[in-house]
Amino acid sequence: MANPLFRLCLISMAVLLHFNFSLSVKEDDTVLLPLKAQIISSGSVPNKLSFHHNVSLTVTLTVGTPPQSVTMVLDTGSELSWLHCKKTPGTPNSFDPTHSSSYSPIPCYSPTCRIRTRDFTVPVSCDARKLCHAVLSYADGSSAEGNLAGDTFRYGESTSSVLPGMIFGCMDSGWSSNPDEDSRTTGLIGMNRGSLSFVSQMGFSKFSYCISGSDSSGVLVFGEAKLPWLRPLNYTPLVKISLPLPYFDRVAYTVELEGIKVSGKILSLPKSIFVPDHTGAGQTMVDSGTQFSFLLGPVYAALKKEFSEQVRGILRPLGEVDFVFQGAMDVCYRVEMSRNVLPELPAVTLIFRGAEMVVAAERLMYRVPGMVRGNDWVYCMTFGNSDLIGMEAYVIGHHHQQNMWMEFDIANSRVGLAEVRCDLASQRLGL
């Protein structure tokens, strides 16, 4: 599976993005899932599922007939959902299609395997069995390969939670840049606006999630979340570009980033620096499949300079010029192990059109695992330099979405957000 720290994917596959299927879920229903999966009816939010998060956000569903449990990374930056398919007996964290009577591989002559789109541009490909061949490649060097197929997914015990004929990739080979994380999951659940995404196939035009910052829990809601205790959301519109551009992902959740401020001081940057250029490079994507957030080089440099100046005398710089965490983050400091909490730090605010996202406290600094200097921990700021890892985009990762109610309103082309205690939200929803 792709490293979720900076998983911007380049996908090549022969596949149709228009198909017919019937689901028992209605648009006016609400599905509430725990980002670990169980469905618990709760007032006006019947469709809910809890989830778990560490490096990735993961949700547990079942697939096939009889059902097999799978754990999938929740990824708003991807379209096609896919599973590791069992290649040899005893393979952990995999789906075995030979034990599912509802599994249906898609032949390469099927219309589902023919239409070319921006995401799937490779001509139709057949394997030796005349099945639709799929290859997914990610920017961090990881990959997955297999076949396109359909099967029944379930996210709960009720009949309305049964989703027959869901299209996904059944991957039987690949390699990963993060094998430890990969070994704990069965695959990936794609949640962008493309026709093959999980939410599109379900027939919902809206979904939400809330990620706790105090523990590893969360909640995922399909449909309308009518919650009296939820603060009114601030909405920012999705960017629409009608012309096909080589570096612009038209089915991503692309929002308008207008500026950044550090403790109330707005970085002195031209607004044009946040606007995609003539190639589409420079879009700002809300991506649950990426852990941290990334800024293009000039913006990252400006943030680094201002933040460093404001924490002078509060934090002690690491002082190692060549140290770069995860290949993209070099604003790092030494913090005494004896400290129970970080000192009070200036917040970094992302200014979107119509909404703001405040990044403070534990969301702003991250302790590098296993890194010790004398009696100090090593902490790095949780923004990375996109230029250092070859990304031509701004990416808002799930770490900065903690304790925010995040609503993806596909019907109205907007993303809503509001600060909330997500651990309490999960409790109120019975998860």
Please give the pLDDT value at position 139.
60
pLDDT digits (tens, 9 = 90+) for 224-243: 888 888 889 999 999 999 88
Q: Is residue 227, in this structure, part of any structural domain at all? A: no
Residue finishing a domain among 193, 222, 251: 222
Which has the higher per-residue pLDDT, 343 or 54?
343
Q: Is residue 372, in this structure, part of any structural domain at all? A: yes
- Residue 202 shares a structural domain with residue 247: no
Please give the pLDDT value at position 430.
75
Could you say which of 287, 330, 409, 423 is catalytic? 287
Residue finishing a domain among 168, 202, 222: 222
- Residue 57 shares a structural domain with residue 144: yes
- Residue 207 shares a structural domain with residue 254: no
Neighbours of 165 (CB within 10 A): 16
Question: Above 90 in pLDDT, residue 20?
Answer: no
The DSSP code for 103 is -
C-alpha to C-alpha distance for 115 and 101, rounded to whole angstroms: 28
- Residue 196 shares a structural domain with residue 290: no
Quote the pTM value: 0.87
Average pLDDT for residues 269-276, to the nearest whole number?
96
- Residue 206 shares a structural domain with residue 343: no
Please give the pLDDT value at position 119.
45
Which has the higher per-residue pLDDT, 156 or 376?
376
- Residue 27 shares a structural domain with residue 76: yes
Q: Is residue 229, in this structure, part of any structural domain at all? A: no
Of the ranges 104-118, 136-150, 157-171, the best mean pLDDT one: 157-171
- Residue 361 shares a structural domain with residue 247: yes
Burial of 242 (0-12, 13-18, 19+ CB in 10 A): exposed
- Residue 122 shares a structural domain with residue 191: yes
- Residue 214 shares a structural domain with residue 238: no
Q: Is 287 a catalytic residue?
A: yes
Could you say which of 75, 182, 330, 423 is catalytic? 75
- Residue 218 shares a structural domain with residue 238: no
Confidence of residue 135 (pLDDT cuts 50, 70, 90): confident
Residue finishing a domain among 222, 250, 273: 222
pLDDT digits (tens, 9 = 90+) for 333-345: 999 999 988 999 9
The DSSP code for 99 is G
Question: Above 50 in pLDDT, residue 6?
Answer: no
Please give the pLDDT value at position 145.
84
Please give the pLDDT value at position 183.
65
Question: Above 50 in pLDDT, residue 88?
Answer: yes
Confidence of residue 5 (pLDDT cuts 50, 70, 90): very low
- Residue 135 shares a structural domain with residue 284: no
Q: Is residue 392, in this structure, part of any structural domain at all? A: yes
- Which residue reads 């490649």 in tokens? 137
Of the ranges 107-111, 129-133, 345-349, the best mean pLDDT one: 345-349
Q: Is 140 a catalytic residue?
A: no
- Which residue reads 């933040």 in tokens? 307
C-alpha to C-alpha distance for 251 and 153, rounded to whole angstroms: 23
How many domains in the chain? 2
Report the Cα 414 to chain-centroid distance in Å. Answer: 17
Secondary structure of residue 2 in the 3-state scheme: coil
The two tokens of residue 317 are 């710089």
State which residues form the domain around 262.
234-428
Look up residue 132 and give its amino acid.
Answer: C
Q: What is the dihedral of CA 31, 418, 9, 295, to 10 degrees?
A: 180
- Residue 268 shares a structural domain with residue 217: no
CATH number at residue 43: 2.40.70.10
